[in-house]
Amino acid sequence: MRTQIFISYRRDGGLDTAKALCEALTEKYEVFFDMNSLRNGRFDEAIEKAITECSDFLLILSPNIFDRYFEPDDWISRELRLALDNSKNVIPIFLDDFTPPKTDDENIEKAMKYNGLRFGSEGFFDKIKQFIVSNERCVLDIECSEEGYFLSDNAIDALKAAYRAIRESEKYDIEVKLNLPDINTASELLNRKYLGQDNYQELLNFTVNRLIRKHHRRKEIIETAVTYMLADRSNIYHAPKALPNPPSYAHGVFSAHGNGYNYFPVAAWERVINELLKEFTLLSENRTNYYRTSEHRSDYYYLDIVINRASNKKRGQWYFHSFAKTIEEMPCAHYPLMQPSLFTIDDESFFSMVLPDFYYSAALAILMGPDELKAEFLDPESPIRFLANYWYGLS
């Protein structure tokens, strides 16, 4: 996920403070702290990428922070310069015995003019959140029943808080994490079945580990899909004439607006996420298999959907598959989505099935697609983000 907060510090004098800040902020934000965040590869490129991505730059001002500042290739100097050049929200964290240096260095002078906090002052960890401009991570608690996985009441409240944060700050950098119940059912059943049968132990371990890996992979895809959905500006749907009457499932979540309706995003988000969570209903199956089985085949149409792409580098089309409830005179849907006259898919299928498939496919493109397609999905100005407007022919 994209770095939200970067912690810049001198190890000699600032390490303990950096650790404390990282521990306090990691639950709610994506924090870059070099001792935790750096992996294999070039560390200089990783640090520069994290500063370029972040919104908040925490500068820990220990007494010796600028001792080696003017030496060639000093990292404090490089990090501060990069943060200022990219207009990051610099937050100085003052430690005891720190004294502003007497220097005419332009970057140090700029940093000293930012509002900061003294570490350890009363209410420090509450106050620092008021300085941070990044949105807090959205953690969704997932419940499990015999019917499958679904959003808890706490998760609905978290979505409402995310909606308010987006509307109030106009920032779309909310990262989503799923708090799923422990996946011990499969391993417990397999252990009971093969208990005491040493010959099956290797197969048992292989099967359980494979299921767990598949589970965590789907979790990563769905977290990416939901994060992207919250960042997609088309999630505040306006549907003039397309919805003469709000569907029954949407009672109370539409508001009249001119000739049409504004769709309240949280209701759409809840429906999309609960549909995506069907990926976890059976660890050995996914939604596609579910809708393709003979038991359900007569209830749904399989759709190949095409969206016209337009980027500066390349023009083309992007495809994903979906399903829709069967209705009379359903046409073949091998047409661009931006031509709504060719579709007679009902709105319930659109919100409960087409949108989930769009965001799931987008997550796969972001995680595994070619760099060009990743960049296009993550570009806030890319037309590929306006699925609802394509659907209703508003673009």
Judgement on whether residues 11 and 67 belong to the same structural domain of the protein: yes
- The per-residue pLDDT for 248 is 41
- The per-residue pLDDT for 287 is 78
Of 103, 131, 159, which marks where a domain is finished?
Answer: 131
Judgement on whether residues 75 and 142 belong to the same structural domain of the protein: no
Q: Taking residues 135-155, what's their average pLDDT?
A: 84
At 172, the pLDDT band (50, 70, 90 cuts) reads: low
Q: Taking residues 59-68, what's their average pLDDT?
A: 93
Contact assessment for residue 48 and residue 82, using Cβ atoms and an 8 Å cutoff: yes
Tokens of residue 128, six digits: 């620092």
- The per-residue pLDDT for 196 is 54
Judgement on whether residues 103 and 152 belong to the same structural domain of the protein: no
pLDDT of 110 above 90 = yes
Judgement on whether residues 19 and 48 belong to the same structural domain of the protein: yes
Of 131, 164, 187, which marks where a domain is finished?
Answer: 131
pLDDT of 332 above 50 = no
Range of the domain at 78: 5-131
Judgement on whether residues 353 and 269 belong to the same structural domain of the protein: yes
- The per-residue pLDDT for 273 is 92
- The per-residue pLDDT for 139 is 84
Q: Taking residues 129-155, what's their average pLDDT?
A: 84
Cα–Cα distance measured from residue 282 to residue 279, given in angstroms and rounded to the nearest whole number: 7
Cα–Cα distance measured from residue 241 to residue 258, given in angstroms and rounded to the nearest whole number: 10
More confidently predicted of 15 and 288: 15
Q: What is the pLDDT of residues 242-291, one digit of tens each?
A: 444 444 434 334 444 444 445 557 877 888 899 999 887 655 567 777 77
- The per-residue pLDDT for 170 is 60
Cα–Cα distance measured from residue 24 to residue 16, given in angstroms and rounded to the nearest whole number: 12
pLDDT of 118 above 70 = yes
At 383, the pLDDT band (50, 70, 90 cuts) reads: low
More confidently predicted of 170 and 211: 211
CATH of the domain at 42: 3.40.50.10140
At 295, the pLDDT band (50, 70, 90 cuts) reads: confident
Judgement on whether residues 123 and 233 belong to the same structural domain of the protein: no
pLDDT of 391 above 60 = no
Least confident of 84-88, 237-241, 264-268: 237-241
Contact assessment for residue 119 and residue 93, using Cβ atoms and an 8 Å cutoff: yes
Q: What is the mean pLDDT of the chain?
A: 75
Judgement on whether residues 104 and 58 belong to the same structural domain of the protein: yes
DSSP H/E element including 338: none
Query: With pLDDT > 90 as the criterion, what percentage of the chain qualifies?
Result: 23
Q: Report CA torsion sign: 293, 339, 379, 271.
A: negative
Q: Taking residues 306-329, what's their average pLDDT?
A: 65
- The per-residue pLDDT for 253 is 40
Least confident of 63-72, 318-327, 333-342: 333-342
Comparing C-alpha atoms, which of 185, 180, 176 is closest to residue 150? 180
Q: Phi then psi for 145, rounded to 5 degrees? A: -135, -175
Q: Highest mean pLDDT range out of 111-120, 222-231, 342-351?
A: 111-120
Judgement on whether residues 165 and 228 belong to the same structural domain of the protein: yes
- The per-residue pLDDT for 304 is 73
Q: Highest mean pLDDT range out of 179-188, 289-298, 351-360?
A: 351-360
Judgement on whether residues 155 and 289 belong to the same structural domain of the protein: yes
- The per-residue pLDDT for 200 is 62
At 80, the pLDDT band (50, 70, 90 cuts) reads: very high
Judgement on whether residues 111 and 150 belong to the same structural domain of the protein: no
pLDDT of 109 above 70 = yes
**In Å, how far are 6, 53, 120, 242, 245 from 93, measured between CA atoms?**
13, 21, 10, 53, 55
- The per-residue pLDDT for 167 is 72
Of 89, 113, 131, which marks where a domain is finished?
Answer: 131
**Which residues are paired to 324 by β-bridges?**
301
Q: How many distinct structural domains can be found in the chain? A: 2
Judgement on whether residues 11 and 84 belong to the same structural domain of the protein: yes
More confidently predicted of 208 and 81: 81
- The per-residue pLDDT for 38 is 54
pLDDT of 392 above 50 = no
Query: With pLDDT > 70 as the criterion, what percentage of the chain qualifies?
Result: 68
Judgement on whether residues 102 and 188 belong to the same structural domain of the protein: no
Q: What is the pLDDT of residues 192-238, one digit of tens each?
A: 555 555 666 676 677 667 777 777 888 899 999 998 888 776 555 44
In angstroms and rounded to an integer, the radius of gyration of the C-alpha atoms of the chain is 25
